Amino acid sequence: KPNEPVYTRSQVALNDGTDNKPTWVTYLAGVYDISSFKAIHPGGHIIGQAAGADVGGFWEVWAHHHHSGKVGGYLEELRIGRLVEGEEEHSTDDPYDSEPIRDPSVQTIFMERPYCSETPNKALNSAYLTSPSALYVRNHAPVPECAWEPEDSTRESNVQNHEVCFERVQNGTSPTLKVSDLQSRFGTVTVTSILQCAGNRAGEDIKNTGDSGFTGTPLERITVGMLGNAQWSGIRLSSILPALYPEQCGKAKEHGGGEWHVVFEGADGYEGSTPLARVLDPRNDCILATHMNGEPLSPDHGYPMRALLPGIAGARNVKWLQGVSLSKVPVDAPWNEYYYKNSFGEQIQQLPLQSIILNTTTNSQTNKLSVSGVAYSGGSGNAIARVEISTDGGKTWSSANIKNEEIKKDQSNKSFGWVRWSANVSAENTTEVCCRATDSEGKTQCEISPKQRGYIYNGWSKVEVI
Ligand code: MTE
Ligand code: MO
């Protein structure tokens, strides 16, 4: 527009949304007032981080927020002018140029930017503990600066020196604590737990419930592998939090913990929160994890530290952890306030009871079908009492063998890791096999679970047999 107002970058910088000023950003040569956008759009929070400056970097970083093209459209409506000639250029640094080197053959990749993948069935089925290189990855942005080489011997000491800021609730200085301090003060523990994205089994969800939460995105291809089982080592949040937030934790214990949420902040700008009561209960084994299966976390899984909240949706297990705080309301971040919410508008926290068929093999000699897979109780941490198989669409069921001997016994008195199971059934006239799990309280899976915006599907696992 030839007659539109012209601004310098310094003028734009003054309007950074502080002290009741509007929030302006630039994109290419345009100047935009995003004050209203910030309030209404889930991505507005992110773009708001560019307040007073160029939004180009955020545009690239949060590429997934505009695969609908919507953000670009909104932005044009908010245009208030352009930059003076000669000030239009913005940095063209590629925020994805220091991504970890990944072996494309060990995971099924859905997206490269941000990187998102699932664990192949073979890797899930081949061992009780999933290897870090095969474990699915769900990033929403580039991996923040923490790159290390696989052979790097400084990894362990970098973990020890990593710092986390524990923000004060009221006034006062917020202590920033080193991992080594946390370790010597509170000790370390190892817990066995599955990690599962709330969107796992989205493909079956779409097919069986018509849920359209993921339709048209690369995530509609999710099968059963946004999942893995590992031993996680770190520091108990049920020890750290009462020491750092005695008042709030004391109240939370008295009142069942209803009013506070623990907010976890990642170095990539990602945030999530989980009710304090869940995190404070030592039986829930919530930790700040530094190691997976005895090794420092890999860059994709949150090196040097992540929240590991057994039985809680992957989305709240914040990686590249740099900040912890308490809040009376769930944190106002898009992954908490827009994504990963159920149909009642609540943040998805606990994962449901689950069983998954990972392999079927027909033996033509014996005319038997061997079926194997995994089962876990999710948020309840109950033991799995039985897994059953049906070849007649659920009319009759037979029990599978659970490999109890390999289950790791941690400090925990709950079961957050999975069990592996196998069964042999007749292959005669069998065209489909399905499984369901029942936990120690008698809870069992339904044939098809209700629509939840594409999340936490846990109907019977059904596989066609050829
Ligand atoms: N933490 C940060 N900082 N950034 C992220 O993008 N993704 C979340 C969670 N924590 C995410 C994050 C989601 S949705 C999931 S499912 C898990 O991390 C995935 O963990 P993984 O990549 O180690 O498997
Ligand atoms: Mo996720």
Q: Which ligand neighbours the alpha carbon of 115 most closely?
A: 1
Whose C-alpha lies nearest to ligand 1, atom 17?
314
Model pLDDT for residues 250-307, shown as the tens digit of each residue:
877 776 656 899 999 999 889 999 999 999 999 999 999 999 999 999 999 999 999 9
Q: 186: Cβ below 6 Å to ligand 1? A: no
Whose C-alpha lies nearest to ligand 1, atom 12?
318
Q: 315: Cβ below 6 Å to ligand 1? A: yes
Q: 455: Cβ below 6 Å to ligand 1? A: no
Q: 319: Cβ below 6 Å to ligand 1? A: yes
Lowest-confidence segment of 65-69, 281-285, 337-341, 422-426 by average pLDDT: 65-69
Measured from the Cα of 196, ligand 1's closest atom is: 16
Average pLDDT over residues 64-82: 65
Residue 97: predicted pLDDT: 76
Q: How is the chain split into domains, by residue range?
A: 6-83, 108-337, 354-464
Confidence grade of residue 38 (pLDDT, cut at 50, 70, 90): low
Judged against a pLDDT cut of 70, whether residue 326 lies above it is answered with: yes
The answer to whether domain 6-83 has CATH 1.10.10.10 is no
Half-sphere exposure of 254 (CA within 13 A, CB side): 6
Q: 12: Cβ below 6 Å to ligand 1? A: no
Q: 303: Cβ below 6 Å to ligand 1? A: no
Measured from the Cα of 335, ligand 1's closest atom is: 14
Measured from the Cα of 301, ligand 1's closest atom is: 23
Check: CB of residue 358 under 8 Å from CB of residue 224. yes
Average pLDDT over residues 87-98: 72
Compute the distance from residue 385 Cα to the ligand 2 centre, in Å: 27
Compute the distance from residue 428 Cα to the ligand 1 centre, in Å: 43
Whose C-alpha lies nearest to ligand 1, atom 14?
315
Residues 6+ apart with CB under 8 A from 351: 194, 196, 198, 311, 312, 313, 378, 379, 456
Q: 285: Cβ below 6 Å to ligand 1? A: no
Compute the distance from residue 239 Cα to the ligand 2 centre, in Å: 27
Q: Assess: ipTM above 0.85.
A: yes
CATH fold of 354-464: Immunoglobulin-like (2.60.40)
3-state helix/strand/coil string of the chain: CCCCCEECHHHHHHCECCCCCCEEEEECCEEEECHHHHHHCCCHHHHHHHCCCECHHHHHHCHHHHCCCHHHHHHHHCEEEEECCCCCCCCCCCCCCCCCCCCCCCCEEEEECCEEEECCHHHHHHCCCCCCCCCCCECCCCCCCCCCCCCCCCHHHHHHHCEEEECCCCCCCCCEEEHHHHHHHHCCEEEEEEEECCCCCHHHHHHHHCCCCCCCCHHHHCCCCCEEEEEEEEEEHHHHHHHHCHHHHHHHHHCCCCCCEEEEEECCCCEEEEEHHHHHCHHHCCEEEEEECCEECCHHHCCCCEEECCCECHHHCCCCEEEEEEECCCCCCHHHHCCCECCCCCECCECCCEEEEEEEEEECCCCEEEEEEEEECHHHCCCEEEEEEECCCCCCCEECEECHHHCCCCCCCCCCCCEEEEEEEECCCCCEEEEEEEECCCCECCCCCCCCCCCCCCCCEEEECC
CATH fold of 108-337: Sulfite Oxidase; Chain A, domain 2 (3.90.420)
Q: Return the closest-CA partner of residue 455 out of 309, 338, 284.
A: 338
